[in-house]
Amino acid sequence: MEFLVASSIGLLSACGVYMLLRGRTFPVVIGLSLLSYAVNVFLFAMGRLQVDMPPILSDSATGYTDPLPQALVLTAIVISFGMTAVIVVLALRTYLEIGNDHVDGLPGGPTDSGETK
């Protein structure tokens, strides 16, 4: 199971980073989402992988799984979900305002040094 989880985190991050480095906003948004999934699973795994264990210690329990990373993951999921929504809206607005979906603007297009307008 460790191998499966580790390699899926690796695969997700690799795809995420690749997509993040693309020049258009849509792949970048997808890349950020993939990266945040990878991070969520990673955080989860940081509490060690335990199967069928209670998150709370009791007298009858033979072991436990660490509940804290799960709480952290919940926070991280909420934040990354909200941020994905923000960036999707922003990507759309940018596309509608400047007429293309390139993260850095088109070659020869307006630059932020303000030389060509």
Q: What is the binding site for another protein (CB under 8 A)? A: 20, 25, 28, 32, 35-36, 38-39, 42-43, 46-48, 68-69, 72, 75-76, 79-80, 82-83, 86-87, 90-91, 93-94, 97-98, 103-105, 110, 112-115
Nearer residue to another protein within complex by CB, 14 or 104 = 104
Burial class (CB in 10 A: 0-12, 13-18, 19+), 45: middle
CB of 6 to another protein, least distance (A): 13
Return the H-helix or E-strand segment holding 43.
Answer: helix 25-45
Bridge partners (DSSP) listed for residue 102: 24
Cα–Cα distance for residue pair 39/32, rounded to 1 Å: 10
CB of 107 to another protein, least distance (A): 14
